[in-house]
Structure 1
């Protein structure tokens, strides 16, 4: 019996795998999905929780990367717009169109006509974006929005020098935490095994011999276990060098860490996302989401993994330079921070390419070991495909024969399938498990988050009516907290609040709700009262820390 058995997702834990993937962000999950899809016995291990790093700390966008045209990174843009389309087909309940307004001032560089040419090229690259999409999530053509109409739509924009905006459509990643779990579930449905709170503390092997697996420490109990694997893929994002430890220098891995901080504000009034360059030359997105607005990211070197006063002030400076009034403390509710791995190409973090790199460490004396660096959410599927193509080609004599796997047009395992509209899929879902007795808005909320697996949450409610209780002012209900622990391997309070439910993604969570959820999950996890209180205290302390940084920034 393994020390990890109690929270394994998918097939039971084996002693040996064809492929072991390190890292449970979007890169690792997509690599694992494509390994299992090729018929290989695959294990995914994550040090903390799935998506707990960069993958959950986003602008909520699946985008083609219009800004990268300015850097002449046409390959990344072309690949991104194709991948955006595939992801929209696979999970239209979690991915939907979002209009972006690319603003232009008379001082903007490049000027409005050049921006328009860039948008036209961008749209041309995405010519087939609506093919196969449900009717209610199709994107219109780009168009010019004049100054007067733009100010009606975006009341906070500074009118002085404003020319107008180019409107084009990208895609909203409504709940990235849930989308990542949907992809993870697809990996599991293909026979994969996943374990969270499992830190890789060493590689089995040393320079000059084949790497034959990983040593893993259970983050909950502290126990360790060795798991053999024919191939090990290091997909730990910003922490790939840390995973390699003393082998990093021999492996020749160089990764820059770029920090992306967002401000989480009240609703600023714009219904479309606004993509704007401030007078300091930096771009930000002001993206409305769930009745709130995300402002960011900073995209600066990651000297720390926490939000700092300097990060907050950089975003304020950028936004205030194009706003009719400056942000004040009452506008800002919270901050979000993620650290992105970038290929060390000699450029700064702001202009570095978003390409990804696959490194076979065999020539460095570490056969059987591969490292993935760079990349982004949008191109995660393609990255996983290319990584496994490279791994299989390089390791053909060691791996069993593999099958063909083309994920471009495959639904995720919990997607609703081919409905004429997403609304029709939700209407059908709202009629399931009538004995649950929930209102339609709650049913649609669950259907969006869980796809077809929402029926399992409804079954919990049908069996225990106390689980219909709402969690604060969110649309979440108590049954979701139970499901997070019993079916989705959540093991900490933050796992449940921040990455299984939506309540923790909507800003600061009220203390009574934190207590409510902790009380729900404590008996399921065997927590003592002391452990339950420690989880509550730690969660609330982390929130207070973010509030203190915001207070300090706005006092200066």
Structure 2
């Protein structure tokens, strides 16, 4: 079977028949594993069944964080690892992360009391004593401090003053555009010789039963049904919530146990505070209230679910729980008209027998050689912040146990290595953006749009500007309220493997991440895609309708609140 259809959306080196390592899954776990495998000199291909970050990796609280609440569970190892990794991500991509202050609130009635909270924050910051080393100066974070009630209410005016004592302020890191950051990691993997292909579902893991080991995978092109067999002595299953499903008929043999936890966020308008708030409601549940991109995220829930992760959706019970929690600490109940949309993700948790809220965010490496399937490894658990070190550990495990099947290796240390699209030796993010403003000065683009492009694309923003230079009409905005321009749509299709409308709107540009997209902007985006994808009018209409249907399904659950 020809590989032409796979090749049309390849990122990285051409698809071949044989590799050293095959990675299943293009979320943050698969991307970091792939990056480290290629960095060590292993010929690596990564297959993603849908689109990069189309699952759990894009439905987060938009934080790169150490996990302060894990101290309450005495999970010191996870916290220690996470605060280190938070710093490394700031060094790797300073244009895509930023400091964010969080207020850890204390009420008369809340537990633990303010002094205990302060001791926890102090321990947390002690673990992060190196947090500013090597960081761009804009990404430096100050020491924690106590914010008294009156000062806190000025910063967070919606908090209920009754019983409010104050808050401990500490700094974590905002993941400005998770989808773009993950894509930058995929591009770093490609720059090291890797091959990444999306909309390519692994439908069967191949093995030699006589030898008791895997030999590769069968992969199906989701766009046209074409199939291909790709061979490798090592297959790493990093499919997130779909990790058991990816094993196919081997799931029963491996006896892999992973629990699925549904996390729902409310996306609202700007609630009037610049700082994030970490609060425990009167019902005992925690929520993070995180201002982001002119919006606010409230959540997440943490609910055990079963069945196919594809079927997970926000339900009234999820929304009611979030509203009950946030309203219990507000001066006035949240205006339901502020709710723009919901985000739903499914986290794959290590099955350690605990409730999902207290379940560890550590990761597990399951080497299926123990059940007679040598060369097959599954990874479960973990989180965005610690995915880099997880990738490192998974690859080192493979190297240790599969050395006889692998080629000579090279050293690779990604801890303080900038991503391939990160700006060069600038003192600050502002300096890199100032330089970007001088690119293609003849173009009729406002400063907001230019900085927007520099932040999203890093050093590749010039390629987007080049499209505008060649075709000035591509400089027009897709929607007046967002600085995304038509050239980004062309770039998404021609350079970033976007296949359908959701790939572009939700995961290559910003517009679709901000909530409901105006149908006129959806059509404009589809029509630009059609010009470079060769879509017929019928296909354009079908793509538009599919995207609008997806939006309407999200909005339907919100109707009782409006």
Give the match for residue 414 of structure 1. 421
Distance 1:540 1:322 in 2: 35
Give the match for residue 259 of structure 1.
262
Q: Give the corresponding residue for 1:124.
A: 126
Does residue 175 (structure 1) correspond to residue 182 (structure 2)? The answer is: no
- Structure 2 residue aligned with 1:383, among 378, 382, 390? 390
Aligned residue runs from structure 1 range 308-319, under 5 A: 308-319=315-326
SS of residue matched to 1:213:
strand
Q: After TM superposition, where is structure 1 displaced by more than 4 Å over at least 4 residues in a row?
A: none
Comparing 293-302 with 46-55, which one deviates more in the overlay?
Answer: 293-302
Are the counterparts in 1 of residues 436 and 454 from structure 2 also a CA contact under 8 Å? yes
Deviations 1:193-243 (A, max 9, x none): 000000111111165621111111111001111111121000000110001
Whether the 8 Å CA contact 1:437–1:462 is kept in 2: the answer is no
Instruction: Report what 2:48 is aligned to.
Output: 46
Match of 1:224 among 222, 227, 231: 227
Question: Does residue 1:550 correspond to 2:558, yes or no?
Answer: yes
Per the alignment, in what secondary structure is the counterpart of residue 226 of structure 1?
strand
1:65 paired residue among 61, 67, 85? 67
Q: How far did residue 159 of structure 1 move? A: 1.2
Match of 1:439 in 2: 446
- Say which is worse superposed, 104-113 or 114-123, in terms of deviation: 104-113
Partner residue, 1:532: 540
Instruction: Give the TM-score, by structure 1 length.
Output: 0.98
Q: Which residue of 2 aligns with 1:470?
A: 477
Q: 1:491, CA displacement in angstroms?
A: 0.2
Equivalent residue of 2:545, what SS? helix
Query: 1:19 touches 1:35 (CA, 8 Å); kept in 2?
Result: yes
**Preserved contact between residue 136 and residue 427 of structure 2 (Cα < 8 Å):** yes
Q: Is 1:397–2:400 an aligned residue pair?
A: no
Distance, in Å, in 2 between the alignment partners of 1:50 and 1:18 is 22
Distance 1:207 1:347 in 2: 36
Name the SS of the counterpart of 1:471 in structure 2: strand
- Number of aligned positions between the proteins: 554
For 1:528 and 1:464, the matched residues in 2 are separated by 22
Residue 425 in structure 1 maps to residue 428 in structure 2: no
Residue 527 of structure 2 corresponds to 519
Partner of 1:97: 99
Partner of 1:194 in structure 2? 196
| Aligned mates of 1:366, 1:152 — CA distance in 2 | 60
Displacement after TM superposition at 1:347 (Å):
0.7
Q: Could you tell me which runs of 5 or more consecutive residues in structure 1 were left unpaired when the two chains were aligned.
A: none
SS at match of 1:390: helix
Question: 1:504 maps to which residue?
Answer: 512
Q: Match for residue 275 of structure 1? A: 278
CA drift of 1:438 comes to 2.0
SS in 1 for 2:233: strand
Counterpart residue number, 1:368: 375
Alignment RMSD (CA, Å): 1.0
TM-score where L is the length of structure 2: 0.97
Q: 2:456 aligns with which of 435, 449, 466?
A: 449
| Structure-to-structure mapping, 1:241-252, within 5 angstroms | 241-252=244-255
